[in-house]
Structures are given as C-alpha cells and as structure tokens.
A and B are shown apart, each in its own frame.
Chain A
C-alpha cells in the first residue's frame, strides 16, 4: 500500500471525527444525535465488503495460477474483513439497544450479518484442518468464493425482502431520505473511504508479516 493512501486515510478519518460530531445532522425522533453513528457503524460494513472483495479476487487469481503471495492476500484480507465485521456487528448492537430497544432483535439484517460472520470464520476452520499447504490454499480459495456468494444475499437481499427495522431495508427509508441538504453525505463518503483505507492498511501489514515469515522459513530450509 502506497504511503499517500495511508496519509489520505488518516486525513479523511480526522475529518470524519471532527465533522462527524460538529456538522449539522437532520433532527429526527428516536435516533436523535445517535444518527452520527452512521459515520462510524456503516463504514465498517462498506470496508468489510471491500476487503472481502479483494480477498475474493486473490482467491480467483490463486485458482488461475497458484502462488503463496496470492494465498496470503486472500487470507489476510479476510482476517481484516472479519475485524470490521465484528466492529460493525457490535456497534450495531449498541445502536440497536438505544433505538430498537434491545441489542439483539433477531432482525434479518442482524441475523444475516451474524451468519456471514460464521461463514467467514469457517474459512479459518477449513484452513486449520488441512495439513498440506497447497491443498489448504486451493480448497480455501474455492470456499472463499462460496463464502462471498453466500454473504451478499444474507446482507443485501434477504433483509430487503422481509420486514427489517434496519434503515434502508424491508421498506424502511435509509438516512439518505432525510439528508435533504446532503450535509451528511459530506461526511459519510469521506468516512467510508477513510475507514476502508484503514482496513486495507491493517490487512497489508498482516500480508507483509506472513510473507516475511515465509521468506524466513525458506532461508532456514536452504
């Protein structure tokens, strides 16, 4: 990851923290000031999707032409994606507690996000259960494609088809419907980019450590 992208991430997130708390937001009942969580909770999910998509691409590339590097990118981007998933899930629970009445409502959006988390955790169960490195990489690359294909309907289709209380799902308008003067978009889009880049940064650090570890192992074997 290039240095300018890391700097951009930090600049955007400083802006998000400052503008996210100081800029005006729509005055709505029930959510009140908690509408500002939009700048922190939702980017976790956007970031997770971005990281899982990168992982998916590297898994497909791996199946096309196997290499340790491609496998490493696939694994570590799932790792960082799961971190964002957990943060999105827990921040959503806090938000739900004060707007829906309880942290876990069994809402289709919440259940879908939890199932998606389990599916991606099973990716590591699969990897941990295979000794042979090439088999491990190949089978987990195939599984990763399945996991992505299962996550999309769980997060974006089922909650829209059933009744969900989550904004933007099950007939509920998203917050963009209230953001008539686009004041929130001014903070929300930079926030999404900033958090996404931060997640990518963490993922690339993990990638570099795993590649280093592999090079050290190769040195010892020579």
Chain B
C-alpha cells in the first residue's frame, strides 16, 4: 500500500522533475578546476602570438630608422 502511494506521488511529480532539469553546462569541468588548464593554454598561445607581433613591430621600427626621413609622398 505504502509503495503504491509513493509510486502515484512519484508519477504526479514526474513532469515537474523533467521541466526543472537544469541546462547542461560544463559544471563538472569547472568543479574539477580543469577549466584553468584551458585558460592557461589559451593565454600561452596568445602570449606567443603577441611576442611575435612585438618582435615584428620592433624589426620594422629598426628598418624605418635606417632609412632617411620620408619625402612626404
């Protein structure tokens, strides 16, 4: 008897339980801290790209200094 009542209550609550299901996000990854690995890798790649750009920038600056001033073309 007790079991049947519990089953009926459970059946009534089923739609509510389904609709209340949260949207799936990477919560596990965040709780494990693995997301910091992703951020670290992206930051490293970004740092590499920026270092490359800065070196290119300085190289161009050096060549600009070697040449006589612009004639104003």
Contact = CB atoms under 8 A, between A and B. Distances in A.
Contacts of B60: 205, 208-209, 212
A63 interface: no
Given A27-B23, A208-B60, A214-B73, A13 B46 contact: yes
A192 B64 CA distance: 31
Interface in A1-50: 6, 10, 13-14, 17-18, 21-22, 27-29, 32-33
Nearest to A204: B57
A212 B59 CA distance: 12
B7 interface: no
A32 B73 CA distance: 54
A32 B23 contact: yes
Contacts of A22: 35, 39
Interface in B41-73: 42-43, 46, 50, 53-54, 56-57, 60, 63-64, 67-68, 70-71, 73
Interface residues of A, number: 28
A6 B67 CA distance: 24
B20 interface: no
A179 B63 CA distance: 48
A219 B26 CA distance: 60
Contact of B25 (A13, A14, A33): A33
B23 A215 contact: no
A122 B31 CA distance: 50
Nearest to B60: A208
Nearest to B67: A215
A201 B52 CA distance: 13
A212 B64 contact: yes
B73 A29 contact: no
B67 A216 contact: yes
A132 interface: no
A14 B26 CA distance: 22
B35 A10 contact: no
Nearest to B69: A215
A211 B43 CA distance: 33
Interface string B5-39: 00000000000000000111110000000010011
A21 B39 contact: yes
Contacts of A156: none
Given A27-B23, A32-B24, A208-B64, A202 B43 contact: no
B70 A28 contact: no
A67 interface: yes
